[in-house]
Structure 1
């Protein structure tokens, strides 16, 4: 097998593997790489219909990558909806994704019991629920983040940060400080949303609600 064939097979493999990716960003990057390689390969061997097709796919991938990366930290792309801790839809989301949540956190997390003190937030993109943040009220103005989870498709975008950016929702519950367990914690993500490492875990001050 010559080097040109190796290049062609590499492009094909990348395109196929990209279709197996659950994460939107990872899919687009791998699909772009495969399509770009396939475009070059087909152009070299002068199979112009396939070169044109893969070139078009590469252009489409570039468009979506630019759009996705632009929306990554755009407040207009995501929304935060507060629901009751015993909300039926929240319980449904947690039940459907129980296995992924357990793998993501390292421990299983079920729906909060009715009457639990604290707050629950759904992170949405349009009409799609892409994340859940659960915070328990420990008293004295301290809230513990029990769950900060994102669906696999959007895990590269960390949409949960939009909950923390809207610090007024925590202040409205009388919280002045948020803490979270270091178990399976993502240091880069926690720092991005304002947490700092402290004795026994991570914590973040809650800014007062705007007047």
Structure 2
């Protein structure tokens, strides 16, 4: 049956393609679909060892998707670490990811008066937000960047959600000039578009 062979090959291809994905969510989704198709194909043709194996993989993928999506907006899943521009790990992180950061934020340079907020998931730093104080309680977001693996989960939002970290530095409002592809994200984390730039008020501590 041609359609059955197509299902079997499609499942195999999706499993292989999933292993090429850097993003955690995309990997899990593709791997799940591929495993489900492979399970069905192997069950129909009677190759039970592979059917059971792929069925188990599908169950594992469902569990991790449930956990990842549940933690997507969970305050306990991420930690925001406030560091200064001279922090050694911050500079190491920016250097390691410098080439990719430059593609998202051309011309970014860490200012001496900036504050950086590292976003950590367990012991892994998954993102960074850099804000520069320009006076009169105004902070400019120079960088909001997330590692590829966690880009589907926008962990940078935790920095803005815990906006007390900005108020502690005397900031009352944040400004940003987002790239077109980032506008939807900044709208989700509380920025609103004005005639000149995007603005977000900082809640007092």
Do both proteins adopt the same fold according to a TM-score greater than 0.5, normalized to the shorter chain?
Answer: yes
For the aligned residues, what is the CA RMSD?
Answer: 1.2
Say whether 1:186 aligns with 2:182.
yes
- For 2:134, the equivalent position in structure 1 comes to 138
Work out the CA distance in 1 between the residues paired with 2:92 and 2:147.
Answer: 14
| Partner residue in 2 for 1:3 | 3
Tell me, in whole angstroms, the C-alpha distance in 2 between the residues paired with 1:201 and 1:72: 28
- Give the corresponding residue for 1:24: 24
Deviation of 1:177 after TM superposition, in Å, equals 0.5
After TM superposition, give the deviation of residue 88 of structure 1 in Å.
Answer: 1.3
Q: 1:117 Cα deviation (Å)?
A: 1.8
User: What residue is the counterpart of 2:155 in the other structure?
Assistant: 159
* TM-score normalised by structure 1 residue count: 0.94
Q: How does 1:198-209 map to 2 (within 5 A)?
A: 198-209=194-205
TM-score (norm 2): 0.96
Q: State the partner residue of 1:96.
A: 96
- Is the 8 Å Cα contact of residues 32 and 57 (structure 1) preserved in structure 2? yes
> Match of 1:109?
108
Are 2:170 and 1:174 equivalent residues in the alignment? yes
Deviations along 1:64-119, one digit per CA (max 9) or x if unpaired, are 000000000001000000111121111110010011111223x1434x24xx2231
Question: Gaps (5+ residues) in structure 2?
Answer: none
Name the structure where helix makes up a greater proportion of residues: 2
Query: How far apart, in 1, do the equivalents of 2:114 and 2:181 lie?
Result: 21
Alignment correspondent of 1:119 = 115
Secondary structure of the residue that 2:103 maps to in structure 1? helix
Q: How far apart in 2 are the matches of 1:173 and 1:82?
A: 10
Alignment: residue pair count: 205
2:42 aligns to what? 42
How far the C-alpha of 1:187 sits from its partner, in A, is 2.3
Tell me which residue corresponds to 1:12: 12
For 2:80, the equivalent position in structure 1 comes to: 80
Do the aligned partners of 1:79 and 1:125 also contact (CA within 8 Å) in 2? yes
Runs of 4+ in 1 over 2 A off after TM superposition: 182-185
- Mapped to 2, the partners of 1:46 and 1:89 lie a distance apart of 54
**Structure 1 unpaired stretches of 5+:** none
